Amino acid sequence: MKFGIDRLLEDAALRKPLEGQRVALLAHPASLTADLTHSLDALVACGVNISAVFGPQHGVRGDLQDNMMESPDFADPVYGVPVFSLYGEVRRPTAQSMQSFDTILIDLQDLGCRIYTYVTTLLYMLEAAAEHGKSVWVLDRPNPAGRPVEGLTLLPGWESFVGAGPMPMRHGLTLGEMGHWFIDHFGLNLDYRVVEMAGWQPEAAPGFGWPADRPWINPSPNAANVNMARAYAGTVMLEGTTLSEGRGTTRPLEAFGAPDIDARAVIAEMHAIAPEWLTGCTLRDFWFQPTFHKHVGQLCSGVFIHAEGPGYDHQTFRPWRLQAAAFRAVRNLYSDYPLWRDFAYEYEFDKLAIDVINGGPALRQWVDDPLSAAGDLDNLAKADEMAWKEIRLAHMRY
């Protein structure tokens, strides 16, 4: 198969509208061609007039580990063009930076999850382009989590940098498709184009979204592999809790744990709460000791989520529900456990992080209500999931 960047490079007719244009590129370390050349180098080599570069969260270089670690603006050391950070002093492109180009190419590898901030950066760039009369092209890439949809829809008033609009946690769209939905939903008026992939088969084994012949490159420092991308719609919620999500280990956001829980007991309780939420993967208890971040230097009892191998079923794996069951299991086993982490999360200072992540309080309220049943949360989510599946049909291009 071919990604959007590869099709643009090989087809002079696709590039024709860029002739005579000042062209910007929004990219990160995973913005690579099929032969692992960075898109910036490849575009310059084929004659595209790159006038500016923009970087999302974690920076163009992808060097910043944690959330709310800001990247500076700088001049590219090879080409001398300005590099504007969209996760530094600003998260929206400034009027000054928007004057540095006529058309911007967005070549970002996404993870297929509402909270992954490249989705929000796409919206902010679309809004700025509409305001300033600029063109936006998305060089499309696979959604490595595939087409499944899961989670509650973000509620009105809960928009944030990790919640660009009313979609469920796992949206099942590519970034190019998401741009179409943003333009339709927010009523934006701009020149928008998608350089589509060729041959993407999101339902094909073994990748179910990620092509087997394409090496995985981290789009952000803790997105280490396809297993993480599949689990992320659930494990990202751990950022709003006191449980470790595995930061400070070699497999972040594929596991959870803490020094003061019993992982085997948690897994057993998860099965008691909602065994149907645990299908399509294998849960393994293990031990880990973070070298930084939560519980640094402490031995943690943990649960590893294997959304891979012979135990993986793409259609039945439900990471958001699985993680919800884990939270409820911890609450049932340790009633006074300080589960919810109270801190400033992605520049939201007056809401609990777990609620910001979920786009509303419903999941937390379900976890904390001893009288609630699995079916209560399941019914809420099913209604949102069915509605989104209908909405997204008009924007799916593959």
| Residue 175 tokens, joined | 């970034």
pTM, two decimals, is: 0.95
pLDDT in tens, the chain (398 residues): 999 999 999 999 999 999 999 999 999 999 999 999 999 999 999 999 999 999 998 777 655 555 545 567 889 989 999 999 998 888 899 999 999 999 999 999 999 999 999 999 999 999 999 999 999 999 999 999 999 999 999 999 999 999 999 999 999 999 999 999 999 999 999 999 999 999 999 999 999 999 999 999 999 999 999 999 999 999 999 999 999 999 999 999 999 999 999 999 999 999 999 999 999 999 999 999 999 999 999 999 999 999 999 999 999 999 999 999 999 999 999 999 999 999 888 777 789 999 999 999 999 999 999 999 999 999 999 999 999 999 999 999 99
Q: Which run of H or E residues covers position 282?
A: strand 282-288
How far the first Cα of the chain sits from its last, in Å, is: 13
- The full set of domain ranges for the chain reads 4-220, 226-388
Per-residue pLDDT, 109: 97
CATH of domain 4-220: 3.40.50.12170
Question: How big is the CA angle at 122 (ends 118 and 125), to the nearest 5 degrees?
Answer: 135
Comparing CA positions, the residue from 265, 262, 264, 259 lying closest to residue 295 is 259
SS3 221: coil
All residues at 6 or more sequence positions from 202 whose CB lies less than 8 Å from its CB, including other chains: 142, 143, 146, 147, 208, 209, 398
What's phi and psi for 251, nearest 5 deg? -135, 60
Instruction: Give the residue carrying structure tokens 């504007």.
Output: 84
What is the reported pLDDT for 67?
52
The confidence score (pLDDT) of residue 100 equals 97
Q: What is the pLDDT of residue 154?
A: 98
Topology (CATH level 3) of domain 226-388: Aspartate Aminotransferase, domain 1 (3.90.1150)
The pair of structure tokens assigned to 268 is 């057993």
User: Omega of the bond prior to 202 within 30 degrees of 0, cis?
Assistant: no
Task: Give the separation between CA 100 and CA 311, rounded to whole angstroms.
Answer: 50
CB 50 within 8 A of CB 75: no
**pLDDT for residue 61:** 65
